[in-house]
Amino acid sequence: MDPKTHPAVTVTNIKNFIPFTLEMESGQYTSWAELFRIHCRAFQVANHINSSAAPPRSTPSSSTATEADKTKVASEFEAWSRLDAIVLQWIYSTISNDLLHTILKPNTTASQAWTALENIFQDSRNTRAIYLDSKFVSTRLDQHPNVSSYCQAMKMIADQLANVGNPVNNQRLVLQLIAGLNDSYEGVAMLIQQTNPLPDFYEVRSKLVMKEARKAHQAAAIAASPNNTLQPPPRLCTSLLTTGPATITSHGKIHVAEDMAVAADVAVAAPPADEDATTPNNRHMVGDPLRTSHGHLFRLLGLTQSTLNGYIHHAHTRSSSPTSAHPLLHLLEFWAIVHNKLMRLPKQVTHPRTSNKPSIPWRSIHPIRHGNFTSYVNNGLFRNVIVGDGSPIPIRGIGHQTLPYPFPPLLLKNVLHTPRIIKNLLSIRHFTIDNNVSVEFDPFGLTMKEYRTRTPILRCNSTGDLYSFKLNSSSQVTHPSTFAAITRDLWHHRLGHPGADVLSTLRSNLRFSSSKHLSSNTFCHSCVLGKQIKFSFSSSNSLTHLPFDIIHTDVWTSPVLSSSGHRYYVLFLDDKTNYLWTYPLANKSQVFSTFLHFFSMIKTQFHYTIKTIQCDNGREFDNQQFHNLCSQTSTQFRFSCPYTSPQNGKPERKIRSINNLLRTLLAHSNVPMYLWHHALQHATYLLNILPTKTLANLTPTHLL
């Protein structure tokens, strides 16, 4: 194409096509490069920024070329050089001065300048990826003037991450965009994050921009209102109590029986929707909030009269427009701000102690009849309870109470005395905190338990639509103690599933109590799974007189590799006391070093020397190391006959007992089998402290 008629020659101002300047720290390289590529394709010079496209030769490659060929090649090179200079001017005109001086070199082509810029912005990809990812997760809406700027910044960082080989998918981009919003966008953020699948980034951006525009419109409408008066907050109050039948509501409020205390969570009442806030019934709620009894709270929160002017008129006057928001929504928005600020203040600020007003937790208060209070104050912080219709009910006093007999001695703190209420109410939340108990509900009633031991201390059955909190003929009251209300099955599980004889011996010797005697008819599913055995071997009549006269040993191979890499365990069993030591092993070659440690431990801790070692013919024992040790220490080494495991029956039976108990513990606790090495330690400990019939119901620990 003739360079005089080429489309690139017609471009007079590159700024019309690339409207911004690329700077070193702007982070706009991805956008700039994309716009520049589009511009070059539009004007048919894209090959000039392609590093793989070689420029034409300035002279013919053949030495036999004619003058016409030389003239043609020179003309083509001149045309290409002119277009390349135009593209190079475009690059230099759209970058900052510092970048220009960085890449400017004599006789540079457009492709070389393009590659230099690419290296500047895309070198150290991993380092840039780390920096950009940190910037991506730390960007917040509060750092930008508006939502559009915030969304643009997030999209730009995501594009830069993709440019360094770490693309951000739509799900992560949307979730991080929501995470960076402030509290004023909490509603729309909740709706977006609950949408499955998540909407597209541009759809989320549109929703946020519309939310911002709506907020700006509402703020302008409020500021333009001529009359602004604000309704003061309804009195903070609690639910009520007097005497009456005992019930528990489905919302967790317990109505306590006669002469009992009540409590409930705080309720704040607003005027009904069909009444104007300035009617006589509601006129007591209108006024300057900074001059009411709650004015100190507004001053502590930094809410001045100028801050409140935007909410004043709309809280009490109905809008004439059918499309405007309900006036109570303006009041609700204001009280949401007050509530959020209150939650950030310590209780000592929101409820200061004075000489004539006791401090009371305003979220829940317990009430009772005046005559049953252990302490009673008739001048509290809250003087009325505001019910749903807006009418106040006076509070006569506040105090504390302990539930009377036959109830357990449970505390009721901060009780309101309100005689005009016909029901007794109790806050489950504060009741459980004050008494460190838990309450479990079932279709037939409720059960109160001690929180730490889970011991039942009170049972109340219910027959109606509500749960009743009162004693009846079937109620049982127990007092927690160390062994009270512990069933036979629980002791059976705690002690490693021993038999009925062992548990009966423990009952008679230790005199602990349980709800029932353990009978032979008790069925334990874990015992069935863990104690499946074959016929026992014949017992031996040999006797030893001192501990460590004979040490029985054997190695067991586990079919399951433990989480710590153990495949075996070796046991050492004292013939006299039946005391047991076990050591998990990764390899059988560790048996000798483990025995040396055990040999030294016996000599140091018990001042005995092992006289005889009884084992099978395994190569882990029948080797030169063990024979040399026995020769040096004058220890006898006794082997069983080959393939005759009954001659080594004592450790074999002990392995069976260990494995039965080990599997039972794992099955009962639903623990995976690869944690058997932890259960091995516990099983060894239990076998050493449990009584044994072969020892006349004594324990190995006692005999040792």
Burial code (b: 16+ CB inside 10 Å, e: under 16) for 410-440 equals bebbbbbbbbebebbbbbbebbeebbebebe
pLDDT at 281 over 50: no
pLDDT digits (tens, 9 = 90+) for 189-207: 888 888 888 899 999 999 8
What per-residue confidence (pLDDT) applies to 254?
40
* In a domain? residue 444: no
CA-CA-CA-CA dihedral for 634, 640, 645, 648, to nearest 10: -30
- Residue 570: which pLDDT band, with cuts at 50, 70 and 90? very high
Query: Residue 5: how many CB atoms within 10 A of its CB?
Result: 8
Lowest mean pLDDT: which of 129-143, 235-249, 429-443? 235-249
In the numeric block, the tokens 């006076």 are attached to 394
Q: How many independent structural domains does the chain possess?
A: 5
Strand partners, 193: none
Residues 260 and 377 in one domain: yes
- Residue 464: which pLDDT band, with cuts at 50, 70 and 90? confident
- Residue 312: which pLDDT band, with cuts at 50, 70 and 90? low
Tokens of 373: 């209070």
Tell me if 282 sits within 8 A of 276, measured CB to CB: yes
Residues 133 and 169 in one domain: yes
Secondary structure letter of residue 238 according to DSSP:
B
pLDDT at 432 over 80: yes
pLDDT digits (tens, 9 = 90+) for 512-544: 555 544 444 567 888 877 876 655 556 666 778
* In a domain? residue 440: no
> Which of these three, 55, 88, 122, is where a domain ends?
122
| Nearest alpha carbon to residue 128 among 102, 154, 163 | 163
493: containing domain: 488-523
* In a domain? residue 661: yes
What per-residue confidence (pLDDT) applies to 316?
47
Residues 173 and 305 in one domain: no
* In a domain? residue 545: yes
What per-residue confidence (pLDDT) applies to 384?
77
Distance CA(351)–CA(361), nearest Å, equals 8
Residues 114 and 181 in one domain: no
Cα–Cα distances in Å, from 354 out to 303, 348, 360? 23, 11, 12
Nearest-10 crossing angle of helices 147-163, 170-179 = 140
Residues 501 and 591 in one domain: no
Give the up-direction half-sphere exposure of residue 333: CA atoms within 13 A in the CB hemisphere.
19
* In a domain? residue 232: no
- Residue 573: which pLDDT band, with cuts at 50, 70 and 90? very high
pLDDT digits (tens, 9 = 90+) for 17-31: 888 888 877 667 888
Distance of CA 143 to the CA centre of its chain: 28
Nearest-10 crossing angle of helices 125-138, 147-163 = 160
Distance CA(108)–CA(92), nearest Å, equals 12
Q: What share of the chain is helix, strand, coil (3-state, %, to 5)?
A: 45, 15, 45
- Where does 476-590 have alpha helices with state H? 488-494, 500-510, 525-530
Q: What is the average pLDDT across 212-238?
A: 64
Query: DSSP string covering 333-386, please?
Result: HHHHHHHHHHHTS-HHHHS---SSS----TTEE----GGG-SEEESS-S--EEE
Q: What is the average pLDDT across 311-330?
A: 46
- The residue type found at 186 is E
Residues 569 and 693 in one domain: yes
* In a domain? residue 409: no
Tell me if 418 sits within 8 A of 240, measured CB to CB: yes
Q: What is the average pLDDT across 387-415?
A: 80
* Residue 318 phi, psi dihedral angles, 5° rounding: -70, 145
Residues 219 and 300 in one domain: no
In the numeric block, the tokens 């109160």 are attached to 448
Residues 537 and 684 in one domain: yes
| Nearest alpha carbon to residue 231 among 380, 103, 100, 332 | 332
Residues with Cβ within 8 Å of 30's Cβ and at least 6 positions away in sequence, in order, are 156, 159, 160, 162, 163
Distance CA(491)–CA(458), nearest Å, equals 22
pLDDT at 253 over 70: no
Share of the chain above pLDDT 70, in %: 70
pLDDT digits (tens, 9 = 90+) for 162-190: 877 788 899 899 999 889 998 888 888 88
Distance CA(254)–CA(578), nearest Å, equals 57
> Which of these three, 507, 523, 539, is where a domain ends?
523
Is the whole-model pTM more than 0.85? no
The length of the chain is: 704
> Which of these three, 63, 91, 122, is where a domain ends?
122
* In a domain? residue 539: yes
| Nearest alpha carbon to residue 662 among 530, 538, 552 | 530
Residues 256 and 379 in one domain: yes
Q: What is the 3-state secondary structure (H, E, C) of 378-422?
A: CCCCCCEEECCCCCEEECCEEEEEECCCCCCCCEEEEEEECCCCC
Tell me if 97 sits within 8 A of 22, measured CB to CB: no
Residues 42 and 82 in one domain: yes
Residues 204 and 279 in one domain: no
* In a domain? residue 469: no
Tell me if 386 sits within 8 A of 418, measured CB to CB: no
Residues 699 and 551 in one domain: yes
Distance CA(74)–CA(79), nearest Å, equals 9
pLDDT digits (tens, 9 = 90+) for 662-698: 999 999 999 999 999 999 999 999 999 999 888 888 9
Here the CATH number for the domain that contains residue 608 is: 3.30.420.10
Distance CA(599)–CA(318), nearest Å, equals 93
Distance CA(415)–CA(401), nearest Å, equals 7
